[in-house]
């Protein structure tokens, strides 16, 4: 059998090829400090479980701090949490 390739989503850059600047001595370090899949903000249901099941329950907002996701606040429902995740912010690099 030949190699199988599984292309990623068309709206996201490929993570298979490292984006390193050869002139920057800390480029490898900076790459390791990027958030997983370049998601710097996320939300989780306060009571646990699947995020889409109860859209009217509160959400815990989390933001990438360069090492792990840290709590950044709460949102009253799923719509407010999605709005917070998608608003422009300064990404940690």
Please give the span between the terminal C-alpha atoms of the chain, in angstroms, as a whole number: 40
CA distance 33 to 66: 5
Tell me how many degrees the CA angle 79-14-43 measures, rounded to the nearest 5: 20
- Residues ≥6 apart with Cβ < 8 Å to 89: 40, 41, 63
pLDDT at position 84 over 90: yes
The confidence score (pLDDT) of residue 36 equals 74
The confidence score (pLDDT) of residue 74 equals 95
Ranges of each domain in the chain: 27-86
Lowest mean pLDDT: which of 33-37, 51-55, 67-71? 33-37
Q: Both tokens of residue 58? A: 């509160």
Of 5-9, 23-27, 30-34, 61-65, which has the strongest mean pLDDT? 61-65
Summarize pLDDT for 38-49 with one digit per residue, the tens.
788 999 998 887
């Amino acid at each position: 059998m030949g190699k199988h390739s599984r292309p990623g989503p068309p709206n996201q850059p490929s993570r298979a090829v490292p984006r390193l600047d050869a002139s920057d001595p800390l480029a490898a370090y900076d790459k390791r400090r990027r958030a997983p899949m370049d998601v710097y903000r996320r939300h989780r249901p306060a009571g646990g479980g699947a995020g889409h099941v109860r859209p009217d329950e509160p959400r815990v907002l989390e933001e990438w701090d360069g090492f792990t996701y840290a709590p950044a606040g709460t949102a009253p429902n799923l719509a407010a949490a999605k709005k917070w995740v998608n608003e422009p912010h300064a990404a940690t690099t």
